[in-house]
């Protein structure tokens, strides 16, 4: 796991930097910086608005006496997507938008649910309660 994290935090920024340099060569420095700033601002706005909507749905489901499992997965996707959108880079922006936009988020949620179900079935999920 540690090796995967080391690769993630070294390879992804290098690839992002290479893509930004290539983009700079095609459209210029200020246009590249403009794209990075624009996607960051747009991403922060989308994450905030989607986050508020999800919090509203969580409150509504809890008041209705239901567990908000679906909305918690939505919230996790928006949180991770928002962080990715604030990170400069093209690949992270694409991934972030996929996680923040509701239509594309549904595809990711199917994968997350399957992964969580597999972890539960294998006994890799533990819940601890402290009083």
What pLDDT shows up at residue 45? 92
pLDDT averaged over the chain?
Answer: 89
- Model pLDDT for residues 65-102, shown as the tens digit of each residue: 888 888 989 999 999 999 898 888 899 999 999 999 99
- Model pLDDT for residues 32-41, shown as the tens digit of each residue: 999 989 998 9
What pLDDT shows up at residue 69? 83
Q: Are 71 and 61 in contact (CB under 8 A)?
A: yes
Q: Are 109 and 71 in contact (CB under 8 A)?
A: no
Tracing tokens 């402290």 back to the chain, one arrives at 130
- Sign of the torsion formed by the C-alpha atoms of 110, 115, 116 and 118: positive
21-28 — which CB contacts under 8 Å span 24+ positions? 23/90
């Amino acid at each position: 796991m540690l090796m995967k994290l080391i690769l993630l935090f070294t390879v992804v920024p290098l690839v992002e930097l290479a893509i930004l340099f290539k983009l700079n060569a095609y459209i210029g420095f200020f246009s590249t910086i403009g794209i990075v700033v624009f996607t960051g601002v747009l991403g922060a706005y989308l994450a905030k608005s989607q986050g508020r909507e999800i919090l509203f749905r969580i409150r509504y489901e809890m008041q209705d006496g239901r567990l908000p499992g679906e909305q918690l997965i939505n919230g996790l996707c928006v949180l991770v997507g928002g962080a990715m959108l604030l990170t400069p880079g093209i690949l992270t922006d694409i991934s972030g938008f996929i996680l923040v936009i509701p239509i594309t988020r549904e595809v990711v949620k199917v994968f997350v649910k399957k992964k969580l179900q597999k972890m539960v079935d294998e006994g890799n999920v533990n819940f601890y309660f402290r009083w």
